[in-house]
Amino acid sequence: MTGHVNARPASGLSIQERLYPELTCFGCGHANPAGLKLRSFPGEDAVVATFMPRPEHNNGLGYLNGGIISTVLDCHSAAAVVLEAEQRGWMAPGQALLPYVTAGLDVRFRRPAPLAEPSELRAVIVAADEDEMTVGVELWWDDKPRASATALWKRWRPR
């Protein structure tokens, strides 16, 4: 994944608001009043989002904390996974709020990410079947990748 990300404007429902609005996840759950409430949208060739850090996301040196970066990459990849599942007809009525769970997240930090400016996110499904999906996801700022990850998602069926 390379190049500049053009995230959609904040208007309209995000993937999270449309497909799992009652999720309380810290990163992407819109039902968590203290959460990040990430808003991801289908783009031309990727799922895209804009993330604006808060002052409390400081790593102590004036940049975005690596744990927050990892959370945002994980949660943005979730939007790509759930959108893919919906498009392929793998979403069943009455199932879990999030039908897939993170099975692995391999994060690479490339450059510091700003704390006081928005960053762009891009997620692309690399491999998909109903039981497992792999997503490539990146955080960009100033036309440079700041962090990237490969996220592995597994189908979750609560018993």
CATH architecture of 15-130: Roll (3.10)
Tens of pLDDT, residue by residue over 100-158, are 999 999 999 999 999 999 999 999 999 999 999 999 999 999 999 999 999 999 998 77
d(CA 148, CA 120): 12
Contact call for residues 65 and 55 (beta carbons, < 8 A) = no
What is the pTM assigned to this prediction? Answer: 0.91
